[in-house]
């Protein structure tokens, strides 16, 4: 999907507000923490050992995010908006994952029976 399509989807999917990317180390983002803000809440970008990326919901509001960071031992963390190339890459990653269903094998479309209805013998 091109950036225009992502912008259109962002307006529809995220209540008209484009998701915004924030980081703790704008100069060296790979050494800091990266967060996405949407109208639905805050997500942290997590990168796995093989370069796979996931976005984990961490807070519903900025206040909750700051409280969560304080609980993790980071009370003085500063978040800066990342409008550089890395920020655009993170935005694209987030939008690509947002367009995929959360549960691709949902019970409505799965050919398997729900767990409590499966024969366990």
DSSP class per residue in 21-77: EEES-SSSGGGS-EEEEETTEEEEEEE-TTS-EEEEEEESSHHHHHHHHHHTT-TT-
Between 89 and 108, the more confident residue is 89
Tokens of 104: 């691709």
Task: Answer yes or no: is 52 within a domain.
Answer: yes
Task: Answer yes or no: is 8 within a domain.
Answer: yes
Residue 18 pLDDT grade (very low, low, confident, very high; cuts 50, 70, 90): confident
Task: Answer yes or no: is 27 within a domain.
Answer: yes
Average pLDDT over residues 22-41: 89
Q: What is the per-residue pLDDT for 65?
A: 92
Question: What residues are paired with 55 via a beta bridge?
Answer: 45
Q: How many domains does the chain have?
A: 1
Average pLDDT, the chain: 78
Task: Answer yes or no: is 88 within a domain.
Answer: yes
Alpha-carbon distance 1 to 48, whole Å?
Answer: 24
Among 44-53, 64-73, 101-110, name the one with the lowest average pLDDT.
101-110
């Amino acid at each position: 999907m091109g950036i225009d399509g992502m912008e259109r989807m962002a307006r529809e999917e995220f209540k008209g507000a484009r998701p915004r990317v924030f980081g703790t180390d704008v100069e060296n983002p790979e050494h800091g923490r990266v967060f996405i803000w949407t109208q639905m809440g805050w997500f942290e970008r997590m990168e796995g050992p093989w370069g796979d990326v996931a976005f984990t919901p961490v807070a519903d509001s900025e206040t909750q995010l700051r409280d969560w960071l304080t609980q993790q031992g980071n009370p003085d963390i500063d978040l800066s908006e990342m409008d550089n190339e890395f920020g655009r890459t993170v935005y694209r990653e987030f939008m690509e994952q947002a367009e995929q269903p959360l549960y691709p094998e949902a019970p409505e479309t799965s050919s398997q029976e729900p767990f409590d209805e499966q024969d366990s013998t």
